[in-house]
Amino acid sequence: MSQQLPNKIHFVGIGGIGMSGLAEFLHREGHDITGSDLKNSENTKRLENIGIKIYYKHDITNLSNPEMVVYSSAIPDNNPEINVDNVPVIKRAKLLNRVMQQRKYQITISGMHGKTTTASLLTHIFTKAGYDPSALLGGVLQGTGSNIRYGQGDYCIVEADEYDRSFLELYPTHTIITNVEAEHMDIYDSLDDIKQSFLKFAQRVPDQKDIIACLDDNNLSDILHQISNVSSYGIEQNADYRARNCKLETDKSIFQLVINDKNMGEIEIGLQGKHNILNALACIGMADRCGIKLQQISKALASYSGSRRRMEIRYQDNNYTLIDDYAHHPTEIKATLQAIRESRNNPIIAIFQPHLYSRTKEFYREFAQALKLADKVFVSEIYPAREEPIPGITSRLITEQDSQLKYCQKEKIVDIILDIIEPGSIVITLGAGDINTIHSELIKKIQNNKT
């Protein structure tokens, strides 16, 4: 059990992906963990199955003399469980930093997009190389049912969340920066404010050669000149770690790896799309900086099968392919749909669930433009997550931008898809909410129609 942390810790909002992972990690370490949440979910069920007590309400009576109370950014200031005396009450990011500092080296993956895939892929590489890393991720690792890995090695791999400026609570020895873009404009004043926050985060890394940053990203490039000796990666630019001759296939991507202008041979990854080639390059750069041999890196990349909700194939037969993806920003949607377009000729039916009223308000035009990469598009109600409704902000703001986009209530989507689906179709759900829950019903009805 950790000597730096108290034993008895209570988590307010324990069902969130970041909170649930941290709670599970500390439980594995031997701490006495309890938590509360308003929703019963896959995450809370997983925690209950390993022995963590969870209360499905927020009330002061849930606290049984904890030595620390932890809460997420989604918890409002008036929550009764965080307004207590004589007990340390801290945000998740502060606790996350204390946990990751227990390992000799801390690798964070930061950026607006690609964090979970990159962090999962890096964890896979370090595991296959025998480094036995610990990891706290924003998505469930395939084959594990969990978003953590509890290892005994010197490395801890963590996603650094920019929402609420949480990543500025972290002090890593190494970091990957995937990209910088306008996002979370309810938190940041401007794109320049976002850039300066990432610069502040990067400058705390002790050896700035241990910063692996994407040179292809224009916003990130704008701040890289203020970081000396940063290690770069990219496809379009003359980066330290570069991909050439990219081939995009239906179940993998292949490219020639160039390190410091030297051709290092062919690399294959079991992921689709140029955005995933960039994610792989980031991992190659970081693994190389940490002393993992290229042969080990290459072998691990070829064996990686992905993480849950990241272009995850939920069902496939001779006629149909059903995919689920967590994309919830226009850039992510565009990258995901382009990856399918570039590797397959099949018609694409996209089902998008907007995530947050504030994000819909900010990007409804960009959402519409990105979604038009699909052949048929259905947009469901907004998933509110932590937010209250904003007057006048609905999914129809998106669908009104183009006649190709159709509004549809979530409970009616399955029947509509079954009416229009044709052999060869790819159906993809997009969004960070609960749109993925329609897959089980859709799969069942497709299979019943075959018999």
Measured CA to CA, the distance from residue 160 to residue 165 in angstroms comes to 10
Give, for 9, the enclosing helix (H) or strand (E). strand 8-12
CA 120 to chain centre: 9
Please say if 115 is a catalytic residue: yes
User: Hey, how many other C-beta atoms are within 10 angstroms of the C-beta on 159?
Assistant: 25
| Residue closest to 112 by CA, chosen among 232, 201, 207, 204 | 201
Most distant CA atoms of the chain, gap in Å:
64
Measured CA to CA, the distance from residue 407 to residue 387 in angstroms comes to 21
Task: Tell me whether strands 148-149 and 134-136 are parallel, antiparallel or unpaired.
Answer: antiparallel
Q: Give, as one character, the DSSP assignment of residue 252.
A: -
Alpha helices in 290-329 (DSSP H): 294-303
Measured CA to CA, the distance from residue 224 to residue 199 in angstroms comes to 8
Measured CA to CA, the distance from residue 148 to residue 120 in angstroms comes to 10
Complete edge-to-edge strand list for the sheet that includes strand 32-36 = 53-55, 32-36, 8-12, 68-71, 89-91
Scan for tokens 């002393």, then name that residue: 291
| Side-chain-side CA neighbours of residue 267 (13 Å) | 31
Contact 1, 26 (CB under 8 A): no
Please say if 116 is a catalytic residue: yes
- Tokens standing for 234? 């990219």
Catalytic residue among 24, 115, 118, 376: 115
Please say if 450 is a catalytic residue: no
Alpha helices in 242-273 (DSSP H): none
- Tokens standing for 347? 């018609």
Give the Å distances, CA to CA, from 267 to 48, 136, 256, 276, 367.
41, 27, 6, 12, 33
Catalytic residue among 81, 159, 162, 183: 159
Give the Å distances, CA to CA, from 148 to 22, 115, 144, 293.
8, 14, 9, 25
Backbone angles phi, psi at 355, to 5 degrees: -120, 115
Catalytic residue among 34, 116, 173, 175: 116
Radius of gyration for the chain, computed over Cα atoms and rounded to the nearest angstrom: 22
Task: Give catalytic residue positions.
Answer: 115-116, 159
